[in-house]
Amino acid sequence: MFEPGSTLKLVPLAAALEERLTKPREVIDCQQGSIALAGHVIHDHKPFGFLTVEQVLAQSSDVGAIKLGLRLGEERLHRYMRDFGFGSKTEIELPGEERGLLESPAHWSGISIGEISMGQEVGVTPLQLVTAYSAIANGGVLYQPRTIQRVFRESDQTPLPPVAGRRLLSERTTGLMKQIFQAVVESGTGAAARLDGYSAAGKTGTAQKIDASGRYSKTSYVSSFVGFAPISRPAVTILVVIDSPVGAIYGAEVAAPVFRSIAEQTLGYLSIPQDNPSRWLQVASRAPAGLLRQTRGNRAGSFPTTSELTGAATSPFLPVSFSRSVAASSQGTVVLDEGPLFKVPQFSHWPLRRVAEECQRLGLELHVNGTGLAVEQKPPPGTRVREGGKVWVRFAR
């Protein structure tokens, strides 16, 4: 059990949208990063001014989340916390599950509504948090998690009955939440969680731990990122929790990159179709213009003829020969050194990322068609070409 921090902002935001108390484009005054509750001042990690509700989550403003919690009021905030499964066991088929910590409003202090809205003064389990975010991924339906898919009795396989699910949020609200969580990854604190080839949605979290004196520590944190991918047809929900990180402390810095690594490998292993292949092409922004281009408008398998290829390079570890040409000038014959020739490698079954990074490193102009793994290329493997040429690669699943 741990205090989740800003990953719990899911609840006040979703509840406020569901109750139609706000809209994603509404502008909230975050008061330069401070708000007073019952004589206590709560500070943001940055002095934010006016932010839209979408930006409140993308930039993880505590003040903005607290203001949404205040609109809900104690009873409604508590009810939505319970509806999302916090404070109760998930009843997964594993021993020793904890309920978490969620007091009733009768036991809240004057600042509890603010603390809970930003993910403190409440204890959750990793499974509760993953289940809650999966409810957004599943269109607003919260399903009971399970570890058992089938029961084997001798030679029979008895499928378990369908997992129980209950409508938690409307499809309208979950559609808005997906867009907002996507903005967190695309332009907010979760930028380090952006995936190559896939869309992703999620939230960062950084929570102070309770020290031996019973106060919030200034040096010990729990840093996390929780999200799902792809957004249109989610396949996985992943939670990364770093207990007491050393050096960098924010979930955006230490947990989001881990989410990216796990998600990319998992989605590839599961052969989940890419829904955002253009993300692969963003390596072009780190290379000279024109080195990486995507072929558009071509039917699958439409490639230039060999005579149209002007040459392409491959690994610098495969030099074959040097080519020289002779040109005439008014001053006589001049020998032009056109550089080394290389063998084009075998790209077959390479992922787009690997092909793109290799071509970028070598300074080639890559034209791609499709997504998945490389299935066809021109020039063919072994062709001797010059640096700075073009490579056409078609990808498929």
What is the model's pLDDT at position 366? 85
* C-alpha distance from residue 27 to each of 31, 111, 292, 359 (Å): 12, 24, 39, 44
For residues 337 and 322, is the Cβ–Cβ distance under 8 A? Answer: yes
pLDDT-based confidence at residue 171 (cuts at 50, 70, 90) = very high
What is the model's pLDDT at position 18? 98
pLDDT digits (tens, 9 = 90+) for 92-107: 988 999 999 999 999 9
What is the model's pLDDT at position 298? 41
Kindly report the CA angle at 196 between 191 and 201, in degrees rounded to 5?
Answer: 50
* Sequence letter at residue 49: G
Task: Give the closest residue to 8 by CA, choosing from 122, 176, 102, 147.
Answer: 122
Listing DSSP states for 229-269 in one string gives: E-SSS--EEEEEEEES-SS---HHHHTHHHHHHHHHHHHHH
Answer whether residue 299 shows pLDDT above 60: no
pLDDT digits (tens, 9 = 90+) for 251-286: 999 999 999 999 999 998 888 988 876 544 444 444
pLDDT-based confidence at residue 90 (cuts at 50, 70, 90) = very high
Task: Give the closest residue to 205 by CA, choosing from 221, 183, 187.
Answer: 221
User: How far is 24 from 18, CA to CA, in rounded Å?
Assistant: 12
Answer whether residue 390 shows pLDDT above 90: no
User: How far is 250 from 225, CA to CA, in rounded Å?
Assistant: 10
Model pTM?
Answer: 0.71
Asked which of 32-46, 80-94, 338-352 is least confident by mean pLDDT, the reply is: 338-352
What's the gap between Cα 231 and its chain centre? 9
Q: What is the mean pLDDT of residues 217-221?
A: 88
Q: What is the mean pLDDT of residues 358-372?
A: 80
Asked which of 150-159, 168-177, 288-297, 309-318 is least confident by mean pLDDT, the reply is: 309-318
For residues 358 and 318, is the Cβ–Cβ distance under 8 A? Answer: no
Q: Which residue has the higher pLDDT, 210 or 85?
A: 85
The residues pairing with 142 across neighbouring beta strands, listed in sequence order, are 166
**Residue 170 annotated among the catalytic residues of the structure:** no
Please report, for the chain, how many H helices and E strands are present, in that order.
Answer: 9, 18
Q: Is the dihedral of CA 56, 59, 65, 66 positive or negative?
A: negative
What's the gap between Cα 330 and its chain centre? 61
Asked which of 56-70, 159-173, 200-214 is least confident by mean pLDDT, the reply is: 159-173
Helices (H), 273-325: none
For 126-144, b/e burial (b = at least 16 CB within 10 A) is ebbbbbbbbbbbbbbbbbe
* CB-based contacts of 106, cutoff 8 Å, min separation 6: none
For the chain, give every domain's residue range: 5-144+164-275, 280-396
| 294 DSSP assignment | E
Mean pLDDT of the chain: 83
pLDDT digits (tens, 9 = 90+) for 335-363: 444 556 777 788 988 888 888 888 877 77
Instruction: Provide long-range contacts, Cβ within 8 A and 24+ apart, for 21-27.
Output: 21/68, 21/71, 21/72, 22/53, 22/68, 22/71, 23/53, 24/52, 24/53, 24/54, 24/176, 24/179, 24/180, 25/52, 25/53, 25/54, 26/52, 26/53, 27/51, 27/52
Identified catalytic residue from 6, 61, 134, 199: 6
What is the model's pLDDT at position 300? 40
Rg (C-alpha) for the chain, rounded Å, is: 27
What is the model's pLDDT at position 294? 45
pLDDT-based confidence at residue 149 (cuts at 50, 70, 90) = confident
What is the CATH T-level fold of the domain 5-144+164-275, as seen in this structure?
Beta-lactamase (3.40.710)
- % of the chain residues with pLDDT over 90: 56
Answer whether residue 296 shows pLDDT above 60: no
Answer whether residue 196 shows pLDDT above 80: yes
User: How far is 192 from 59, CA to CA, in rounded Å?
Assistant: 14
**Residue 288, token pair as written in the block:** 């000279």
